[in-house]
A = this chain, B = another copy of it.
Amino acid sequence: MTYCIGMGLDEGLVFVSDSRTNAGIDKIARFEKMRVFENPGERVMVALSAGNLSVTQNALNLLDLRARKDPQAVSLWNVGSMFEAARLLGDAMREVREYDEKYLREQNIDVSASFILGGQIAGETPRLFLVYSEGNFIEALNDTPYFQIGEIKYGKPILDRMIQRGSSLEAGVKCALISFDATIRSNLSVGAPIDLLIYRADSLRVETRERLMEDDPYLARINREWDEGLHRVFDSLPAHDW
């Protein structure tokens, strides 16, 4: 399983992903699910992936291969808009699925996969997309400024409570990490390390990218303080008078 969050806030974008994959409970490995495409001063794109790892990896690898083979061809490095980038990624995923799906389905292997793709290209504002398994995609707008992929339910209520478009990057990061804590507690197949990337609007470069290990002091501190705070609030709630 996987859990990834992408947020599109006025101040910029926040991306958080776990790094656990599993094919059965005894086949757990660590794979980064965050891929960054950066040409400082000109474009930054971040792709988070969930679902069948061969599908998501190969879609990105296909785009990468073609861009290296022919730098003039249309690629994530030269499209003029994030919309075109999302379409490229969706098309690449369709191509991989068409190539592999028949063989995977024969073994009842789930071929579904999805991406969160966000970033900024000079001349545009920062944008955030969710690319579905079928290759179509939607863009985050004001009402719901975030996307989740993977094991999304446990960590959704806190995002709905706390995050609006106008939330600060700082609040976005805090909330994403709390959402991860709820998910990691409830689903063994989501796990640290947690990859975190914060993109400040119009900076056109990645300033903050971190890998938070399981014993990361900041992570431990907010998880502990959140838990203590929740218990305090819970205890202070009035009892029902039956």
Interface residues on A, range: 35 or more
**Closest residue of chain B to A218, judged by CB?**
B240
Which candidate, A22-30, A105-113, A231-239, is the interface stretch facing chain B?
A231-239
| B156→A186 contact, CB < 8 A | yes
User: Within 8 Å CB of A137, what residues of B?
Assistant: none
Distance in Å from the Cβ of A15 to the closest Cβ of chain B? Answer: 14
On whether the beta carbons of B156 and A157 are closer than 8 Å, the reply is no
Q: How far is the CB of A46 from chain B (nearest CB, A)?
A: 16
Give Cα distance in the complex from A220 to B240, angstroms: 12
A227, CB-defined interface residue at 8 Å: yes
Residue of B nearest to A177 (CB): B240
Number of copies: 2
- Does A221 belong to the interface (CB within 8 Å)? yes
A162 within 8 A of B: yes
B-chain residues with CB within 8 Å of residue A153 when the two chains form the complex: 153-154, 186
Say yes or no for A170: interface residue by CB 8 A criterion: yes
Query: Does A70 have its Cβ within 8 Å of any Cβ on chain B?
Result: no
- Contact B222–A226 (Cβ < 8 Å): no
Known: A171-B234, A222-B238, A229-B237. 18 other contacts (CB 8 A): A153-B154, A157-B182, A157-B185, A160-B185, A161-B231, A174-B237, A175-B234, A178-B237, A207-B242, A210-B242, A218-B240, A218-B241, A221-B238, A222-B237, A225-B238, A230-B230, A230-B233, A232-B233
